[in-house]
Chains A and B, each alone.
Chain A
C-alpha cells in the first residue's frame, strides 16, 4: 500500500505546486516578465490568511477570496506604477526581461524586509480545529485539509481558464500572447491588459499563499523555495499554459514524493531540478507547452 500512499501524497501536494506556478506562468507568458517577487506575494497571501484567522477568527478557506482581492490590487499597482515603464522600454530594446528581473528582485527584497520588520521573522502557522483529521481508506490516509487545498487549487485554475476564454479582457490577454502588434492594431490597450495580467498573477499567488498557510509553517524567508518550484514547474509545463502549470505541479509532486521514498529523501528536490535541466536541453517548450515564447 506504500506506493499508493506515496502517489496520493504526491498528487495532493502537487495541486498546491500547480497553484503556486499558474500565476507565475501567466505573467511570464503574456507580459514576458519573470516575476521574482511571486514568492513574496505568496508569503503575503499566507500572512493575510494568518492574521485574519488569528485576529478575527475567520476560517482560512473563507479568507482565500480576501487575500486574492488584496493581492490583485497590489499586483495591479505594481504593474501600473513600476513595471509598465520597464516593459515599455523593453519593446524597443529587448532589455526588458533583464530590467524586469532586477526590478522584481528588488521589489521582493523590499517586501521581504518590510514583512520581517513589521511581523518579525518568526515562523507562523494556522491551526484550525479540523487540522490533522484524515480519511482512512484501505490503509491509506488522506488528510481532509490536503484534499480541500487540492480542490481549491484546481478550482482557481479553472476559474482563470474560464476568464481567459470567455471574458473580453481574457481574450485580449490571449490576443497579446499570440501577436502583440496585431492586438494593438485592433485597439487593445497594452498597458491596461498588462495591469490586469499582473494583477491576476498576484491574486493567484495570494490564493496559493492562503493554501500554504493551511498546511505548512511559514516566515517571510520561505519565499525563495516557492519561487524555485514555480520555475521548475513552468519549464515542465510550458510557458503561459494553465493546464501545463497544474499538470507540471502534480507531476513534480509525484516525482518528489516517489523520489523521497525510492531514491532517498535527500534527493527529494534534487530529482526535480535534474529533470528541469534535462527538459531545458531536450524539450525547451515544456512537456505540454504549445509554443515557447522568447
Chain B
C-alpha cells in the first residue's frame, strides 16, 4: 500500500510539472487583472454583480482585440478569488495576487470595509487599485497614493439633491437632517449638513437616531413643530418606509422628502403604494439614465449586457464595466504596465462622459467629477430627475400633502 501511495504522488508531481510550462506560455501578450470579490458570505450578491460587470468588460475588450498599451495589443485575463465577505481574507488574497500571481493590475472588491483592509496591502507593494464601489470617505482620508474611486465619495451623495431643490421656485429655506447612527449614513449626513449651510439654508435640525429603532414618531412630532421646508434622511431601507408612514400618520408633508437609501428599491413603492410618490432618493446609476462613454451609450450597453446575461444591468454591473473602461484609458495614456506610470496616467485622466458620469481624480484618488443622480418616485415609477443630461422626467416640487393625494 505504501508503494501505491508513493506511485500516485510521483504521478501527480509529474502531471503538475507538465502543466506549468503550458500555463506560463499562454500568459504572454496578456494583461493579468486580479480581483478578490465577495463570492460567498453576506456580500455575495454585490460581489457577483461586480464580477459580471468586470467579465462583461473583459469579453468586450478582448473581442475588439484587447487593450492597446504602447502600440501593442494585450488580451485581458481576469483572475478572481473569493474573499468570503471578510476583510482579512481580502487582504490575504491581495497579497497572493501581487506576490504569487504577479498580476499587472488590481481591481477592487465590493464595499468600503473590505477595501480598508486590502488596499493597505496594495499600497505597501505600490500597486494601483481601481475601486469601483468603495465610497467611504475614510478610505481616501488615509493619504494613500495608489487607490482610485469610481463612485463619488459618500459625503457628497446627497449634494445633488440640495442643488436640485435650490433651483426650484419658491426656493426652500429650511431643512431638517436626520441620520441613522451607523458609519455610511453619518458620513452622508455630515456632508449634507455642511453643504446645506454653505448654500445658505437654515438647518433647523441635524440629529442622529438609533439604527435599530421601530418607532420615530416622537422625533417626527418634534420636526413637525419646527416645520422645515425639507426633510432629508440618511439611513437604510427600513427607516425610509417607517419615516414615510409616520409622517403621513402625523399629517406632515415636507415640500421635499429625501432618503439616501429606500426609493431606489422596488420594495419601497411596493410597501408604500401612493405614499411613495414625490420621494427623492440617491441614484448611483440606472439603466434609463442617458449617459454614454466613448464607445457606447447606456442603451447600447443595456442591450449587449442583456444578450450576455439575459437581464438589464444594475449599478453593480455598470460600475464594474466602467472601471474596466477607465483602466483601458489609463493604460493607453501610460503606454506601459509599470505601476508608477499607470499612477501618473490616472491623474491625467479627464473623462467627461462614461456610462457612470464624469471621472477625474484629486491627489487622494477621490473622483471629483463623479456625481450621484437623483431619482424621484412619480406615479409609482422611479424617474431620474437629475443630472439634466441623464434625466427621464421633470422634478415635481413641492410635494402635494398626503391627505390630498
Contacts and interface: CB of A to CB of B under 8 A. Distances in A.
Q: Categorize the interface residue count of chain B.
A: 20 to 34
Interface string A257-290: 1101100111011100000000000000000000
A215 B214 contact: yes
A141 B251 contact: yes
B385 to A, nearest CB: 24
Residue of A253, A260, A266, A269 most packed against chain B (CB within 10 A): A260
A212 B213 CA distance: 12
A141 B403 CA distance: 13
Interface of B: 178, 181, 207-210, 212-219, 221-222, 225, 237-238, 241-242, 245, 248-251, 267, 271-273, 275, 402
Interface string A119-158: 0001111010001101010000101001000000000000
A235 B342 CA distance: 61
A218 B237 CA distance: 10
Nearest to A254: B218
A265 B241 contact: no
A269 B221 contact: no
B242 A217 contact: yes
Contacts of A260: 209, 216, 218-219, 222
> Which label, helix, strand, loop or mixed, suits the secondary structure of the B interface?
helix
B272 A127 contact: yes
A207 B263 CA distance: 30
A216 B207 contact: no
Interface residues of A, number: 39
Contacts, number: 101
Contact of A141 (B214, B241, B242, B249): B249
Interface of A: 2, 5-6, 9-10, 13, 122-125, 127, 131-132, 134, 136, 141, 143, 146, 212, 215-219, 222, 224-225, 253, 256-258, 260-261, 264-266, 268-270
22 contacts: A5-B221, A6-B218, A9-B215, A9-B221, A123-B241, A123-B271, A124-B267, A127-B273, A131-B245, A132-B245, A215-B214, A215-B245, A216-B214, A216-B238, A224-B212, A253-B215, A257-B215, A257-B217, A260-B219, A261-B218, A268-B210, A268-B213
Given A265-B178, A265-B209, A217 B238 contact: yes
A256 B214 CA distance: 11
B312 to A, nearest CB: 19
- A-B interface, 10 closest residue pairs, ranked by CB to CB distance from nearest: A225-B212, A9-B217, A143-B249, A257-B218, A132-B248, A265-B209, A125-B271, A13-B215, A217-B238, A269-B210
Contacts of B237: 123, 217
A253 B275 CA distance: 27
Contacts of A218: 238
Contacts of B272: 127
Contacts of A224: 212
Contacts of A215: 214, 245
Output the residue of A217, A218, A261, A266 with the most chain B CB within 10 A.
Answer: A217
Given A131-B245, A265-B209, A122 B222 contact: no
B222 A2 contact: yes
